[in-house]
Chain A
Amino acid sequence: AQSVTQLGSHVSVSEGALVLLRCNYSSSVPPYLFWYVQYPNQGLQLLLKYTTGATLVKGINGFEAEFKKSETSFHLTKPSAHMSDAAEYFCAVRRAGNNDMRFGAGTRLTVKP
């Protein structure tokens, strides 16, 4: 079975500051890892994903995440926060060969002017 833990249900940063959203996973086999973003009253939109290969993956809107197998982590970062980044972010894991996708509880990002 696989599971995801997102550390911090709320994160607040100032505009222009570093964004760091933490995600740790557990999986018995090599995982596929995802970050999704949800804007108010909207569905989930894929930010980025890790499947195989390069462990540093870049996504949309300047976000990136690094897969660290030794730490079972997949933290999401952005060097400089923008007001438009305010949203809820979900980390998700899927095992290769399995359709079941499991989500973390989510982290709400607030960006202060």
Chain B
Amino acid sequence: NAGVTQTPKFQVLKTGQSMTLQCAQDMNHEYMSWYRQDPGMGLRLIHYSVGAGITDQGEVPNGYNVSRSTTEDFPLRLLSAAPSQTSVYFCASSYSSNWEGKNTEAFFGQGTRLTVV
């Protein structure tokens, strides 16, 4: 059971470049989310999805796009990278709140460390 898998682990981009951070989970979780982690700010929610075909914005969505074509995959796209997007990105998955009584915690990937120069 691999859990939540993120690729790549490290990436350096030039300002204006685009890229996609990949996230896949094999736990059949309905809910998936992307966070960014910055020093002193904890984890902030970028986008989330409650199931295939359904996505919504979190606290800090600007500059990022997501899609959810399958239950397993939830890629995060940076269309035009900016230095302010230098951060560590985490993907997480969990059971939907519609299934309270099951495990309520989120499972995290190992993170992608992104630097935009």
- Chain A residues close to B by CB (< 8 Å): 4, 6, 9, 32, 34, 36, 41-46, 49, 51, 90, 92, 94, 96-106
Quick check: A104 and B105 within 8 Å, CB to CB?
no
Quick check: B42 and A104 within 8 Å, CB to CB?
yes
Tell me whether A9 and B40 are in contact in the complex, defined as CB-CB below 8 angstroms, given that A44-B108, A96-B100, A101-B106 are known contacts: yes
CB of B71 closer than 8 Å to a CB of A: no
Name B110's contact: one of A4, A42, A99 (CB within 8 Å). Answer: A42
List the B residue with the shortest CB-CB distance to A105. B42
Quick check: B105 and A103 within 8 Å, CB to CB?
no
Which residues in B have their C-beta under 8 angstroms from that of A51? 104
Which 8 interchain pairs have the tightest Cβ spacing? A43-B108, A103-B42, A103-B43, A105-B42, A44-B108, A43-B110, A99-B31, A99-B97
Quick check: B104 and A100 within 8 Å, CB to CB?
no
CB of B41 closer than 8 Å to a CB of A: yes
List the A residue with the shortest CB-CB distance to B10. A41
Interface residues of B: mostly helix, strand, loop or mixed? strand
CB of B45 closer than 8 Å to a CB of A: yes
Which residues in A have their C-beta under 8 angstroms from that of B107? 46
Quick check: B50 and A99 within 8 Å, CB to CB?
yes
Beta-carbon contacts of B79-107 to A below 8 Å, as 1s and 0s?
00000000000101010110010001111
In angstroms, how far is the closest chain A Cβ from the Cβ of B77? 21
Which residues in B have their C-beta under 8 angstroms from that of A46? 105, 107
A90 to B42, alpha carbons, bound, how many Å?
A: 8
CB of B109 closer than 8 Å to a CB of A: yes
Which residues in B have their C-beta under 8 angstroms from that of A105? 40-42
Name B94's contact: one of A6, A9, A99 (CB within 8 Å). Answer: A99
Beta-carbon contacts of B42-63 to A below 8 Å, as 1s and 0s?
1111001010000000100000
Which residues in B have their C-beta under 8 angstroms from that of A101? 33, 45, 92, 94, 106
